[in-house]
Homo-oligomer: A and B are copies of this chain.
Amino acid sequence: MIREQLLDPGAAELAGFLNRHARACACLVQVAGQMEVTYQGRAASTAEAGAYLLILKADGSLQIHHPKGVKPMNWQPKTDTVTAAAQDGFCVLTASRKNPAETVQVVMLEIQLAQALEITDEAGFVIAGTEAQLQATLARQPELIEPGLTVLDLELLTDVGGIDLYAKDAKGQYVVVELKRAKATQEAVHQLSRYVDAVREHLPKRAKVRGILAAPAISLPAAMTLERLNLEFKEIHALPTAQEQAAQPNLF
């Protein structure tokens, strides 16, 4: 599982280690110690010398972590080339990609630890409660939104984007439904609004089109805007609540 581990490696030794493992073997490579990191690409950043943790995965993704937060300080989702070289007594790692053109460069000042771990298997991972699942559920059971609703289309494409759920209500009026798996914001209201407008343009004049924002909750300002625009809100939950789970344990 630990393929190789170096303590306090020298520049040349570290460069050799990185070139040997970067991409070549299916390993997750880590380097910890004092580094300096610069980035040039969509933006440009510099990190002063400090203690960081660098992780280079087998798929070529790179991340450099500072002491705080889930998000790396610097990163590269994919790399076209990753190379290490000893320069002026320091090991320098350069990770580049084209499209977008960007480069992360790491100067390894004083490295305490370099290791290659065998983290390589893809194991099964399942997630529940996504918007896609919510959409599928509501497509099967549109009455969860409103009795008498008939679903006409999923992801119906308009000029301005895809409509989550396109339907007809009990009175035969068209209904545009915008789904959110989390609390709806102003943004969601405007998204719905522009879909409703787009649908109206494709229908005969004075055909009424309803817009429903379906989400577990809505922010107060968003609710205001919603009302002003004559749109509707329907509370709907992405994950079954504890009660629902108890009531229909076999459904999920």
Bound complex: CA of A87 vs CA of B30, how far in Å? 30
Contact of A65 among B42, B55, B194 (CB under 8 A): B55
Encoded as 1 (CB less than 8 Å from any B CB) or 0, chain A from 28 to 62 comes to: 10001100000000111111111111010111011
This chain: copies in complex? 2
Whether a CB of chain B sits under 8 angstroms from the CB of A238 is: yes
Contact of A128 among B45, B47, B182 (CB under 8 A): B45
Bound complex: CA of A71 vs CA of B51, how far in Å? 21
Q: Is B1 a contact of A50 with CB atoms below 8 Å?
A: no
Using A43-B129, A43-B239, A190-B190 as known contacts, say yes or no to A58 and B67 having CB atoms under 8 A apart. Answer: yes
Bound complex: CA of A94 vs CA of B28, how far in Å? 25
Number of chain A residues close to chain B: CB under 8 A:
66
Whether a CB of chain B sits under 8 angstroms from the CB of A170 is: no
Q: Is B77 a contact of A69 with CB atoms below 8 Å?
A: yes
Bound complex: CA of A112 vs CA of B43, how far in Å? 38
Whether a CB of chain B sits under 8 angstroms from the CB of A68 is: yes
Closest Cβ–Cβ distance, residue A82 to chain B (whole Å): 14
Whether a CB of chain B sits under 8 angstroms from the CB of A126 is: yes
Q: Which residues of B contact A53 (CB under 8 A)?
A: 28, 55, 117, 119
Whether a CB of chain B sits under 8 angstroms from the CB of A122 is: yes
Contact of A123 among B49, B76, B77 (CB under 8 A): B49
Whether a CB of chain B sits under 8 angstroms from the CB of A83 is: no
Using A127-B45, A225-B159, A239-B43 as known contacts, say yes or no to A33 and B1 having CB atoms under 8 A apart. Answer: yes
Encoded as 1 (CB less than 8 Å from any B CB) or 0, chain A from 105 to 117 comes to: 0000000110001
Closest Cβ–Cβ distance, residue A213 to chain B (whole Å): 15
* Closest B residue by C-beta to A59: B68
| Pairs across A and B, CB under 8 Å, 15 listed | A2-B32, A28-B65, A32-B117, A42-B129, A43-B129, A44-B127, A45-B125, A45-B127, A48-B123, A51-B118, A51-B119, A59-B69, A66-B125, A70-B77, A161-B186
